[in-house]
Structure formats: C-alpha cells, structure tokens
Amino acid sequence: MKFLIITTLNAEDPENFDKRLIEGRIIMDNLSWTLTVLAVGIYLIMGVAEVSESNFKPWNHWHNSLKPRGQAGPEITLSVSEETDYLIVIPDESTTQEKKAAADLAHWLQEITGATFPIIHDSQTKDDEKIISIGCTSQFMNADIKKSKIELKDEGYGITVRKHQLFLWGGRTGGIINAVYALLEEDLGCRWYTDEHTRIPEMQSLVFSPVSRTYVPRLRLRDPYYKVAFNGTWSLHNRTNAPSAKVPEEWGGHMDYDGLFVHTFHRLLPPEKYFADHPEYFMLDEKGKRITHQLCTTNPDVIQLVIESVREFLKNNPHTEIISVSKTDGGRTCQCENCRGLDEAEGSEMASLLYLVNKVGEAIEDEYPDLVISTLAYLETVKPPKTMRPGKNIAIRLCNDSVGSWVHPFTPAEQCQFGKLLKAWSAIHDRIHIWDYVVNFSHYLAPMPNMHVIAKNIRFFVENNAEGIMTQGAYQSPGAERDWMRSWVIAKLTWDPSRNISQLMQDFIWGHYGNAAQAIAEYNDLLQKTGQEHKEQLSSPEGGIRYRMDHPFLSKRFLDRSDEIFDRAENVAEDDAILRRVELARLPIMYVRLVRGPEFTGERYGDIIQRFEEIAKREGVLHLREGSPDLDEKLQTWYEAWHKSDISD
C-alpha cells in the first residue's frame, strides 16, 4: 500500500494551529510576526489549547495530525527511483545513542524509498557531499546553526537544513533518537501505532521540505500506563519514557525506579527485620499501640536508616533516575507526639511524611545531584502543608484519586477538588508528578467516553508545574477498551500537550483500521456523543470510576447502534489483520451485553460468549478487572447464566 505525504504550512491549516503557547513547545527562527500575533491573539481570546471540538470536521481519509508547525525549510531530495546520493554521517567518537539513531534512520528510510543509505564516520566524508548529519559531527559544529545553541536538556532535539545537508541533533540522553523519530513521524508521516502495526509511506522518490525547529518536551515522565505501552521498542518509537517500558540505557534509557516505585516504606525499613526490637520505628495508632503499617517518620533513627537504605539501593542500581520514599498503601499516619504535632501545626498529614522525605533529599543531593526523590500526595497526604516546602530534588506525586477521577471520571480535573489542590501545590513547588486514573478498574473493557477529559487534564497538569504524568489504565494484560489507541494518543499528548485530541484519534483510526476506518470513526463519534447526551448522569456515576454496566448511557439503543456499526466494519475489513483489529475494538460492546445477562441480551447470548472467548484468548486478554486473572472465571459465570436461563432452551 502506498501513501502520499503532503507537507503544508501550519498557517494554512487553522484547524491544526496551536492555540496556546505552552512552555517548551517549539522554537522557530522563521515564524513571522503576523503568525506570532495571531497565535497570541487566539490564546487571549479563546484561552484553550486546541480548537473547540465542536468545530472539528470528521475525516474521510488519513491525515498527518503530527505535521510540524512552522515554515517549511529548503526542499531536499533524499531519493530518486529507489536510489540516493545521501550519506548518514555520525561522529568518529559517536555515542551509542548516535549509532542507534543513524541505524534506525537508515532502516526506515530504506523502508520508505527502497534506497540504501550508507552510514559513515565524520573522517570519511568529503567536502560538499549530500549528508544527513547525526549528532555532533564536525559538519554540524562548523555549520554555525543558531538553534544549536539552544539548551535541549536530556531529550530535546533539533532539525534543520543547510543547502542540501540535513542536520539532526539532540539532548544529552535520548535527544538524537527523538530527532530521528520526529523527522520520520512528523515530517514524513510514519507511524508506530502498536507493537505490531507500523504504517510507513512508500515513495521511490522522496522530496520534502523539513520544518526547521528545536523542541524540548515539558514532561520528563511520560507514562501511558497500559500493559500494551510497556513495550520498550514501541516506547522508543513514540517517545514515551515510562518506567515499565524498558528502553535500554544505550538508547537513552527511561525513567527508572529500579524497584523503588511507590508504597516503599516496608522495602526501605522492613518490619520483619526491625519491629521486634524497635517497635518505636513504626507508627503509633489511635489506641496508643505500635503497628507496622506505616513508619514513625519523625524518629531520628528511622530517618538515618532510610537514608542508609536509599544509599545502598542507589549503589546497587546506578542507572536509577527516580526513587519513591512513600507510605504503604491504605492510609493512616503515626500518632506519636512529634508526628501528630507536626501535622496539626501544618494542617496536613503530608507534613510528617515530608519531614522524612526532605531529610533524605538533603542527605543525598550532593552525591546524586540528578536523582529525583518522589513521594505520594495521596488520600490523607494530598493537601500541601501550610509552611513546609519540598526540597528542590523532591517530586510530589499528586494523585487524582477520591478528590477527582475516582468519583468524577468524566469531569475535567480542573473542575474537581483536585484542581484546587494542584493549584495549591503548584503555587509552592515546581516539581509535580501526576498520577491520573483513566479506566474502569472493575470493568477494564467498559466503553469509556473520557478521551477529551484526558486531553484537557494533561494540558491542565502541564500548566500547573507538572514535570511528569502517569495515566493509569489497564496495566495487567492487553485487550482493554481501545488500549492501543489510548496509549498512542496519550503518548502524543504527553510529548506535546497542545495537540488536537480529535485529530489524534482520527489519525489512529484512519491509519490503523484500513477499509473499516469509516465505521470505527463512526463508533468513536457515537461513544463521544452518547457520553455528552448523558453528561449530567456521568458527572458522578454510581460507583464512580468503577461504574456499573447498567449505567443509563450503556443503553440498548447505544449497544444496538454499536453492533450495527461493527457489523459494517467487519464486512469491509480487507484482510485478517484488519478484521482482528475490528474484533478487538468490538469486545467492549460484547462485554457489556454479557455482563447484563441473557435476559437483557436475548437469544444471541450464547453465541456472544463463544465469540468473546475466542477473541479474548486470541488477543491475550487475562484480566477483565483489576486483580488476579479472571477471564476464565467470568466465562464460566456467563456460561452458567446462559444454561440456567429460559432463553437457552
């Protein structure tokens, strides 16, 4: 299949024009004063980060929703009739990241054009050759590129053209690889939608005009926390850096906790080792009894032992970028005189926790200046203290829990109590990591019209000092509701929060579903509109984020309409791969019917169970809700309900 790549100036595409100047977005030499005034004007008038969704026009074919903003640079011809004159050049003393970037670029350009792009070292080049420079080559250093002076931190990148030379460079770790994938994805329209589906345009002659730009992502932690997104190669292609996606260090690495993720008190100071001889190390409960659930965080010996434990851990895990010093799950706080007194004085149970965390941060900051120490603002610790402040190497991981998405899963965080809390934290600290919740944890397959809320939340988080975002979805096995689309879209939004959510979803749908895309897009639109029609009922659904499958928005009308759409999608699927994708997308509708039972679903119930089982097991679905694997258990329950019903006779 061949695809046409069309590059246009952003100014000619107002529907895709960035309506908000988000810090760290993009730096362009040639953006005209007129466009700058237009951008600022729209920002002031609209106050939103993207065009209103009501103005979005549904697509009828694939578009490049990621095309770079700004003025196109000089036109270059990378290949003609499957031949190229270009060489990919890396420094003589190249890093592993530069070598990886060059190898990947050569591979994908060959996939696009059929041409072989040789990789050579700096010293092998001749004057005035056509080159693609990767990293700090001598050609790059001698080119006097103004943008090269811009600080790119760890992951930022730069792209520019000088005559017939294409220059790609990047930040200290994964920046140069990000430059390669930005060029491939944004300028050339390549896609890595899933770990199996790559969409690469085929062009024997590749002529295009790259947009000269640099970009530094605002978010250091970008984690679409779905099981399918834990694939390291997919993560590298899509520029996430999730702790669970193990991108090797030699390719730039990932945000690595190396075992100290969250709820770490018992790993740092194990009760089985200390409690018998030192019960005072652990919390005093409301009845005056020492229990092991939490630590006594103001105890000087506890503080020293935790510091020593952290040091030992870091010694054994030298690539760690972030660790968590955080309470055991389940709440509660030490009620000893010191801990309780500190909390009461500061008006928050975060105070006694932050006392310990700050001491750890102060003790190791000279030895590990780049390390981030994270702690949880969660449940009883969600409120900031009155006067205590986190140290500069401390990240507050603020959870959008009972103060937001647990109760109001379809309401933007800014409109919930969480919004006030984030603004309060943002006013006193500039290093905040967000733990958001975006799936029904009792029903991983539940249809969930919350994509627009996710997009609004990401932008709100970034505007309020978020340095990292994790969106917790179905993290235990693949096959959850639209998990690949969700992961891909969240990856794009956390890399660039100003992207248009509707265009991103359409990009995925039209690029992933072949001839069935029109029908899948129709279902996506139906789900969103149905959510809007039931907006009031969904503002605080019974069960909160764990809403039931008999919620009014999951009506027979919605399910029947969805089935009709999926029937059409299956009928037009052009091959087995597309059919499998459509069947996987249909599982949520089948799931609702099965949960509702044979009396609701009717005589098709038995057939739906059999088909659901076939698809789910084929796709590796193990978990239908958070917890232990339960697919077989649910199937047995449904079969029993079917055989007991009058309808099955």
Please state, in angstroms and as integers, the Cα–Cα distance from residue 493 to each residue in 21, 25, 201, 409, following that order: 15, 12, 23, 19
Q: From CA 195, how far away is CA 99, in angstroms rounded?
A: 22
pLDDT in tens, 379-430: 999 999 999 999 999 999 999 999 999 999 999 999 999 999 999 999 999 9
Q: Is 407 inside a domain boundary?
A: no
- Is 80 exceeded by the pLDDT of residue 642? yes
Same domain, 155 and 285: no
**443 lies in some domain:** no
CA-wise closest residue to 171 among 106, 243, 220: 220
Residues 187 and 282 in one domain: no
Give ∠ CA 604-607-612 in degrees, rounded to 5.
120
Distance CA 171, CA 13 (A): 30
Quote the pLDDT of residue 55. Answer: 62
The torsion angle over the Cα atoms of residues 554, 557, 558 and 562, rounded to 10 degrees, is 130
SS (H, E, C) 536-571: HHHHCCCCHHHCCCCCCCCCHHHHHHHHHHHHHHHH
- The verdict on 551 and 603 lying in the same domain is yes
Has residue 9 got a pLDDT over 50? no
Query: Pick from 376, 411, 430: which residue ends a domain?
Result: 376
Local structure of 369: helix, strand or coil: coil
Q: List the beta bridge partners of residue 433.
A: 397, 468
* DSSP reduced 3-state for 294: strand
Q: Are residues 263 and 187 in the same domain?
A: no
Same domain, 169 and 278: no
Tell me: do 179 and 33 sit in the same domain.
yes
pLDDT of residue 39: 36
**Angstrom distance (rounded) from CA 124 to CA 508:** 41
DSSP conformation letters of 193-256: -SSS-EE----SSEEE-PBPEEE--S-SEEEEE-GGGG-HHHHHHHT---TTS---GGGT----
Mean pLDDT computed over 287-313: 98
197 and 305: one domain? no
- Based on its alpha-carbon atoms, the radius of gyration of the chain, rounded to whole angstroms, reads 26
Do 263 and 343 belong together in one domain?
Answer: yes
34 exposure class (CB count in 10 Å sphere: 0-12, 13-18, 19+):
exposed
- On whether residue 310 sits in a domain, the answer given is yes
Instruction: Look at residue 195 and tell me if it is in a domain.
Output: yes
Do strands 131-134 and 165-170 pair parallel, antiparallel, or not at all (unpaired)? parallel
Q: How far is CA 599 from the centre of its chain?
A: 40
* 424 Rama sector, left if φ>0, alpha if ψ -120 to 50, beta otherwise: alpha
pLDDT tens digits, one per residue of 426-453: 999 999 999 999 999 999 999 999 999 9
Whether the per-residue pLDDT at 360 is higher than 60: the answer is yes
Q: How far apart are CA 133 and CA 183, in angstroms?
A: 13
- Among the listed residues 151, 11, 22, the one whose alpha carbon sits nearest the alpha carbon of residue 496: 22
Whole-number Å distance between alpha carbons of 101 and 110? 14
Amino acid identity for residue 479 in this structure: G
For the chain, report the end-to-end CA distance as a whole number of angstroms. Answer: 49
One-letter amino acid at 627 equals G
**CATH code of the domain containing 50:** 3.30.379.10
Q: Is residue 473 part of a domain?
A: no
Alpha-carbon distance 177 to 240, whole Å? 12
Confidence of residue 24 (pLDDT cuts 50, 70, 90): very low
User: What pLDDT score was predicted for residue 33?
Assistant: 31
Give the residue among 422, 345, 318, 411 at the shortest CA–CA distance from 377: 422
pLDDT band at 259; cut points 50, 70, 90: confident
Residue 15 has pLDDT above 50, yes or no: no
Q: How far is CA 306 from the centre of its chain?
A: 31
Instruction: With CA atoms as reference, report the closest residue to 65 among 1, 8, 2.
Output: 8
Among 26-30, 68-72, 581-585, the least confident range: 26-30
Q: Does some domain include residue 42?
A: yes
pLDDT exceeds cutoff 50 at 454: yes
At 65, the pLDDT band (50, 70, 90 cuts) reads: very high
Residue 116 structural domain: 1-216
Helix (H) or strand (E) holding 584: helix 576-596
Question: Are 273 and 196 members of one domain?
Answer: no
Residue 60 lies in a domain: yes
Distance of CA 94 to the CA centre of its chain: 30
pLDDT, position 649: 64
What pLDDT sits at residue 5?
Answer: 31
Domain stop point among 376, 397, 424: 376
Return all residues near 12 (Cβ < 8 A) that are at least 6 apart.
none
pLDDT higher at 89 or 11: 89
Question: How many structural domains compose the chain?
Answer: 3
Q: Which residues of 68-181 form beta strands (DSSP E)?
A: 76-79, 87-90, 119-121, 131-134, 157-162, 165-170
- Find out whether 610 and 425 touch, Cβ atoms under 8 Å: no
Would the pLDDT of 572 be above 70?
Answer: yes
Identify whether residues 55 and 179 lie together within a single domain. Answer: yes
User: Distance between CA atoms of 334 and 331, rounded to whole angstroms?
Assistant: 10
Predicted confidence at residue 128, as pLDDT, reads: 84
DSSP 63: -
Tokens of 117: 């792009």
The helix/strand count (H/E) of the chain reads as 21, 18
Element (H, E) at 611: helix 605-618
Q: What percent of the chain lies above the pLDDT cut of 90?
A: 88
pLDDT at 287: 96
Are both 263 and 202 inside the same structural domain?
Answer: no
Task: Kindly give, in sequence order, each residue whose CB lies less than 8 Å from that of residue 297, ignoring residues fewer than 6 positions away.
Answer: 303, 334, 339, 352, 353, 355, 356
Q: Say yes or no to pLDDT of 47 above 90.
A: no
Give the model confidence (pLDDT) of 94-123 as tens digits. 999 999 999 999 999 999 999 999 999 999
pLDDT reading at 14 higher than 90: no
Classified as helix, coil or strand, 14 is helix
The residue out of 376, 406, 423 marking a domain boundary is 376
Residue 305 predicted with pLDDT over 80: yes
Does residue 638 form part of some domain? yes
**SS3 at position 469:** strand
Same domain for 45 and 159?
yes
Chain mean pLDDT for the chain: 91
